[in-house]
Amino acid sequence: MIMQINFIDLERQQQRIEKEIAEAISRVLKKGQYIMGQECVDLEQQLAEYTGRKYCLGCANGTDAIRLALAALNIKKDDLVLTTNFTFFATSEVIAELGAIPIFVDIDETYNICPIDLERKILALKNSNKKIAGILSVDLFGLPAKHKDIDRLAKSYGLWHVEDAAQGFGGKIGNDSACSFGDISTTSFFPAKPLGCYGDGGAVFTDSLEVAEYIKSLRVHGKGTHKYENINIGYNSRLDTIQAAVLLEKIKIFDSEVDEKNKIAVRYSSALDGIDEIIVPKIPSGYTSSWAQYTLRVERREELMDYLKGEGIPTTIYYPKTMSQTKALNSFSKYQLGDLKNSIEFADSVLSLPMHAYLTDDEITHICNKILTFYSF
Ligand SMILES: *Cc1c(COP(=O)(O)O)cnc(C)c1O
C-alpha cells in the first residue's frame, strides 16, 4: 500500500488543539462582537510583543497588509519601488494596483532579494536622475531577507523599506524576529502560511505611532476619532474576531512547530545534500527560517514530480514564473534594468517538498528514500 503524505497537514494540527479552538470560537459567538472584538486587541498586543515591534494592527489579509503599508507611506502614481523578481504575485500586484512602478531586483542563492543587485539598481536609477520611493522586500519560504544590508541601503539612499513577511513570520536574524525589519512589516494569516488562521487574515507592524494611527484609520474607511467622521480615503480591511481567537490558540504552539520544522529541514538536507542533481536550501549563518516551504533546486524536475506523485508524495513549484515573466506585469518591462538571471533560472528548477510540523519520521524517511531512488537510475 502506498503511504499518502499531505503537503501541508492542517488536520493533524487541528487535532492537537481541537478542544481549545472550539472553546475559543464558542466564547466569541457568545460575546457577539464578530469584527475587531477583544480577541483582536489581545492578538495585536501579543504579536507586537512576539516580534518586538511597538505596534501591530490586524487587517483582512496579507495583500491588504501590504496595501495599507504602502498607502501609509503615501505612495504616489509613478513612484518607483524596488522589489524582488521572485515572490508570490501579491507583492508586486499591490505596487502596480496603487499606480506605482515595480522595478525588479534579482535574487541570490537564498531565494531572497540580492543586496548587490539592489544597490546596483539604486545607483543606476540615481545616475539617470530617477527618484526612487522605496524598497519592498520579501522573506520568501520563511527565511528573512538580508535585512541588515537592505536597511543600510534604504537609510543611505533615503528610501523607505517595507518587509513583506507573509511567509516569514517566525523567522529570525540573530535574535531579531521577522516583522521587525524596515519601516513597516506585513504578514498574512492565510491557512497555509507559517502562522495561519481558518480563513483570511493579516497584520501590519511598525514602531511609528504616526504610521500606526494612520493605518488604524485606513483599515476602517479612513475614520477619524469617531466612526462616522471620515478623514481619509481608506479601505474596509478588518480582522474577524473568530480568526483572532483561532490565532491566539495557534500562537501558543507556534514556537514548537517552528522547532519541529527546523528539525525536519535538517533531516531533508542531510539526506539530500549528497545528490549531484539537487541543491538544498541555503540558510545563512545566524538566520532561522520558519520553513513556509522547503524548496530544492533539482534536475529533471517534471519527471521527479511525476515519480513522487505515484509514490504518494505531493510536491509543488513555487514559483514557475518570475514577476517579470507574468503577463499582468509585462507593461513594466520598459522600466527594467539589467538581467534577472538567477530568478529566471531558479524558476525552471525549484521544487517544494511536503513541509509541516506533523510529518512523521517514517514519512520523512519515505520521501528521502524515494528521491534517492529516483536519482540512482
Ligand atoms: C501569501 C502571500 C501574500 C498575500 O497574503 P494573502 O493573505 O493571501 O493576501 C503576500 N506576499 C507573499 C510573499 C505571500 O506569500
Instruction: For 10-250, give the CATH class.
Output: alpha beta
What's the gap in Å between 197 CA and the centre of ligand 1? 13
Measured by CA distance, the residue closest to atom 1 of ligand 1 is 166
Show Cβ contacts of residue 18 under 8 Å, excluding neighbours closer than 6 positions. Answer: none
Q: What is the DSSP string of 302-344?
A: HHHHHHHHHTT---B-S-SS-GGGSSTTGGGGGG--S--HHHH
| Percent over 90 (pLDDT), the chain | 97
Dig out the grid coordinates for 238 from the structure: 478588518
Q: Is the peptide bond before 319 cis (omega within 30 degrees of 0)?
A: yes
Instruction: List 223's β-bridge partners, or say none.
Output: 230
> Beta strands 160-164 and 132-138: pairing type?
parallel
The answer to whether 347 and 320 have CB atoms below 8 angstroms apart is yes
Give the count of beta carbons closer than 10 Å to the beta carbon of residue 165: 35
Q: Find, among 317, 294, 289, the residue nearest to 364 by Cα.
A: 294
Q: How confident is the model at residue 283, as a pLDDT?
A: 97
What's the gap in Å between 139 CA and the centre of ligand 1? 11
Q: How confident is the model at residue 247, as a pLDDT?
A: 98
pLDDT in tens, 7-57: 999 999 999 999 999 999 999 999 999 999 999 999 999 999 999 999 999
Question: How far from chain centre, in Å, is Cα 149?
Answer: 19
What's the gap in Å between 14 CA and the centre of ligand 1? 22
CATH number 3.40.50.300 given to 254-374: no
Q: How confident is the model at residue 327, as a pLDDT?
A: 97
Helix (H, G, I), strand (E, B) or coil at 236: strand
Instruction: List 102's β-bridge partners, or say none.
Output: 81
The pLDDT confidence band at residue 1, using thresholds 50, 70 and 90, is confident
> Beta strands 202-206 and 55-59: pairing type?
antiparallel
Cβ-in-10-Å burial (0-12, 13-18, 19+) of 18 comes to exposed
CA distance 163 to 182: 6
Q: How confident is the model at residue 337, as a pLDDT?
A: 92
Q: Answer yes or no: pTM beyond 0.95.
A: yes
188 lines ligand 1 (CB under 6 A): yes
Average pLDDT of span 81-104: 98
Please list the residue range(s) of the chain that carry CATH number 3.90.1150.10. 254-374
Question: To test ligand 1's pocket by mutation, which of 88, 107, 112, 238 has the most ligand atoms within 8 angstroms of CB?
Answer: 88
pLDDT in tens, 59-86: 999 999 999 999 999 999 999 999 999 9
What's the gap in Å between 72 CA and the centre of ligand 1? 19
164 lines ligand 1 (CB under 6 A): yes
Please list the residue range(s) of the chain that carry CATH number 3.40.640.10. 10-250
What's the gap in Å between 361 CA and the centre of ligand 1? 30
Q: How confident is the model at residue 355, as a pLDDT?
A: 98
Can you tell me which atom of ligand 1 is nearest the CA of 201?
Answer: 7
Sheet holding 294-298, edge to edge: 278-279, 294-298, 350-353
Can you tell me which atom of ligand 1 is nearest the CA of 138?
Answer: 13
CA distance 187 to 254: 15
Q: How confident is the model at residue 92, as a pLDDT?
A: 98
What's the gap in Å between 90 CA and the centre of ligand 1? 6
63 lines ligand 1 (CB under 6 A): yes
355 lines ligand 1 (CB under 6 A): no
pLDDT at residue 2 is higher than 90: no
pLDDT in tens, 124-152: 999 999 999 999 999 999 999 999 999 99
Can you tell me which atom of ligand 1 is nearest the CA of 200?
Answer: 7
Helix (H, G, I), strand (E, B) or coil at 212: helix
Dig out the grid coordinates for 5 from the structure: 503524505
111 lines ligand 1 (CB under 6 A): no
Torsion of CA 151, 238, 254, 146, to 10 degrees: -10
For residue 310, give Cα distances in angstroms to 223, 228, 354, 367: 54, 58, 15, 12
Q: How confident is the model at residue 60, as a pLDDT?
A: 98
142 lines ligand 1 (CB under 6 A): no
Q: How confident is the model at residue 106, as a pLDDT?
A: 98
Q: How confident is the model at residue 154, as a pLDDT?
A: 98
Helix (H, G, I), strand (E, B) or coil at 80: strand
Give the chain's mean pLDDT: 97
What's the gap in Å between 301 CA and the centre of ligand 1? 25
Q: How confident is the model at residue 256, as a pLDDT?
A: 98
For residue 116, give Cα distances in angstroms to 80, 94, 121: 18, 25, 9
The pLDDT confidence band at residue 227, using thresholds 50, 70 and 90, is confident
